[in-house]
Amino acid sequence: AQSVTQLGSHVSVSEGALVLLRCNYSSSVPPYLFWYVQYPNQGLQLLLKYTTGATLVKGINGFEAEFKKSETSFHLTKPSAHMSDAAEYFCAVSRNSGGSNYKLTFGKGTLLTVNP
Amino acid sequence: SQTIHQWPATLVQPVGSPLSLECTVEGTSNPNLYWYRQAAGRGLQLLFYSVGIGQISSEVPQNLSASRPQDRQFILSSKKLLLSDSGFYLCAWSAGTSNQPQHFGDGTRLSIL
């Protein structure tokens, strides 16, 4: 069974500071990993994904994440926070539920607050 | 490019009334389709998924049902809503391979009075 743990349900940073959102996963097979962002009253938007190849993945809005197999982690970072980054962030791992159907297992989310 | 549409954006319904939420996808064929519910502070709960027309799998037994009458149409229904059905409902689609992400609609905010 696969699972995702996001450490910290709420992270607060100052504008211009480093953003670090933590995600650890468990998977019995090589994982496919995703980060999504959700703004209030909107759907989830894909930030970035790791499938194979380069372990440092760059996404939209200046975010990136590094897949570390030895640590079973996929932490999301951004060098300098902007007020517009305030949102909820979800980490997810893909799992096969049979045939061609693949489900995502989501973490519980981390709410990012950016202070001026 | 592919797009996904959900409607309505908000809905207020009395307890015991029926429900029908619709989701359609454009620009792709034979997508996997998903319905999620997001309750405040509780993350995303997968309700139903479908890999083809008429093929529905339920994740959690509940007061809701889903149907897929056409390839790119996914409908969430209830005959009699409960207070506990309140929440933010999200539809998503994906290609049928594990390395492809799910793409989400803008959601429907459902309030039960």
Average pLDDT over residues A68-89: 96
Task: Please give the pLDDT value at position B76.
Answer: 97
Q: Which helix (H) or strand (E) holds B100?
A: none
- State whether residue A57 is helix, strand or coil: strand
pLDDT of residue A1 exceeding 90 = no
* Tokens at B56, concatenated: 């529905």
Closest CA to B65 of B91, B38, B98, B35: B35
Contact B53, B33 (CB under 8 A): no
Please provide the size of chain B in residues: 113
- Residues A68-75 have a mean pLDDT of 94
Are A108 and B49 within 8 A, CB to CB?
no
pLDDT at A101: 66
Contact B91, B33 (CB under 8 A): yes
Give the pair of three-digit tokens for residue B34: 């998903």
Give me A94's structure tokens: 């893909």
Q: What is the pLDDT of residue B62?
A: 79
Residue A95 or A47, more confident: A47
| Residues of B with Cβ-Cβ distance to A94 under 8 angstroms | 98-99
B109 vs A: CB within 8 A: yes
Looking at per-residue confidence, does B41 or A79 come out higher?
A79
Average pLDDT over residues A27-37: 86
Chain B residues with CB under 8 Å of A42 CB are: 106-107
Looking at residue B85, what is its pLDDT?
93
pLDDT value of residue A97: 64
Q: Would you state the pLDDT for residue B17? A: 97
Report how far residue A12's alpha carbon sits from residue B94's, in angstroms, rounded to the nearest whole number: 32
The torsion angles phi and psi of B20, rounded to 5 degrees, stand at: -145, 115
Cβ atoms < 10 Å from Cβ of B15: 12
Nearest to B66 by CA among B50, B81, B51, B80: B50
pLDDT in tens, B5-49: 999 999 999 999 999 999 999 999 999 999 999 987 668 999 999
Examine the pLDDT at A57 and tell me if it is beyond 70. yes
- Among the partner residues B51, B88, B92, nearest to A99 by beta-carbon distance: B51
For residue A14, give the 3-state DSSP assignment. Answer: strand
Residue A30 predicted with pLDDT over 90: no
The pair of three-digit structure tokens given for residue A48, joined into one six-digit string: 């970035």
In tens, the pLDDT along B47-97 reads 999 999 999 999 886 789 999 999 999 999 999 999 999 999 999 999 876
Residues A91-115 pLDDT 10s: 999 876 666 667 888 999 999 999 9
